[in-house]
Amino acid sequence: MGERAHPEARTAAPHPVGVGRVLVGIDFRQRSLVAARWAAAHFRGPVDLELMHVVEVPDVPAFLRPLMPALDDRLATAAVAPLEQLRELSDSLDGVPVSFQVRVGSRVHQLVQRAHSTSADLVVLGRDSLQGSRGRTLERLIRHLDVPALIVCGNRLAETPRSVLVAVDEAPIGRSVAAWGMHMAERFGAEATLLHVLSEGLLPHITDRAARLTHEWLASVAPESRITPHTSVATGVPGSVILDTARATDADLIVIGRNGHEAAGPAEIGSAARLLLLASHVPVLIVPPARSG
């Protein structure tokens, strides 16, 4: 079921969105390098781009600390090589102005702190292996960020997105997701599709009128835009339906809320967002709840 949203049905988004400052987490694995090149290629213009590498601090048991007095010195020395690598990476980004730095500590804590202290609008991360601790670290980082995280998947630099799929549900975050999705579609000059997935149990009760009302609701959460989005209504398990719809529409970018209406709390990652984080073959923009205060 797909329709185009009518402009007169839209209402203003409750939170302003935009990309003026982008923080890219770099661990020098291939996919984080692709993420940096993706950000540099697709966020050109008046955007401040910063590359950041974190030298992880090993957890030393208290009873061993007297034997390791020089640990801080060794870590400071270890930061020199990544700094030079970041400089070389920034020089390779086709003349895009880039700043860079190395921090020592917990990767999650340092990236979250830097995003907050610099008022970053977006954090870009490459998805490397999601097996074991690496996958848990990425999910933990996304849970703690209060700005959207763009997860770039794969080893090759993708072309500019031409089709953006925006998964919207009734959670309070829904309007922010729609606003970010439409902003990205505008930025890239892409088509946008707003998708809502109804419970499979409702399938026997979805009449033409019910489908029409759902399309109208989707249109009502879309912000004013130069682009008239499509609306799409489907039934099933949200994560799987979103992946199937992305393939069917040749989506180059998926936008989803971090926690849908079934999430246990504001710091959680919903099951649909988690599945996309694990299985999507195109970049995924994960939008957190609005900043408090």
The residue-averaged pLDDT of 257-286 equals 80
Q: Taking 50 as the threshold, does the pLDDT of residue 95 lie above it? A: yes
Nearest to 124 by CA among 148, 89, 156: 148
Give every CB contact of residue 74 below 8 A, 6+ residues apart in sequence: none
Looking at per-residue pLDDT, the higher value among 185 and 31 belongs to: 185
pTM: 0.84
Q: Per-residue confidence at 18, pLDDT binned at 50, 70, 90? A: confident
Domain with CATH 3.40.50.620 in the chain: 2-16+157-287, 21-120
The residue-averaged pLDDT of 12-30 equals 78
Amino acid type, 15: H
- Phi first, then psi: what are they for 155, rounded to 5°? -105, -5
Tens-place pLDDT, residues 110-143: 999 999 999 999 999 998 644 434 457 888 999 9
Tens-place pLDDT, residues 228-253: 999 999 989 999 999 999 999 999 99
Q: Taking 80 as the threshold, does the pLDDT of residue 221 lie above it? A: yes
pLDDT of residue 269: 84
Q: Can you give the C-alpha Rg of the chain in angstroms?
A: 20
Q: Taking 90 as the threshold, does the pLDDT of residue 79 lie above it? A: no
CATH class as words, domain 21-120: alpha beta
**Edge-to-edge strands, sheet with 253-257:** 2-4, 230-235, 191-198, 163-167, 253-257, 284-287, 149-153, 122-127, 21-25, 48-56, 98-105
Q: Taking 70 as the threshold, does the pLDDT of residue 291 lie above it? A: no
| Three-class SS state of 96 | coil
The residue-averaged pLDDT of 177-200 equals 92
The residue-averaged pLDDT of 210-223 equals 87
Inter-axis angle of helices 271-279 and 238-248, nearest 10: 40
Calculate what percentage of the chain has a pLDDT beyond 90: 42
The residue-averaged pLDDT of 31-47 equals 88
Q: Is 155 exposed, middle or buried (0-12, 13-18, 19+ CB in 10 A)?
A: exposed
Q: Per-residue confidence at 62, pLDDT binned at 50, 70, 90? A: confident
pLDDT of residue 210: 80
Q: For the beta carbon of residue 137, count every other beta carbon within 10 angstroms.
A: 17
Average pLDDT, the chain: 82
Q: Which CATH number is 2-16+157-287 given?
A: 3.40.50.620
Q: Taking 80 as the threshold, does the pLDDT of residue 6 lie above it? A: no
Tens-place pLDDT, residues 161-178: 999 999 999 888 899 999
- Return the sign of the alpha-carbon dihedral for residues 140, 153, 286, 45: positive
Q: Per-residue confidence at 7, pLDDT binned at 50, 70, 90? A: very low
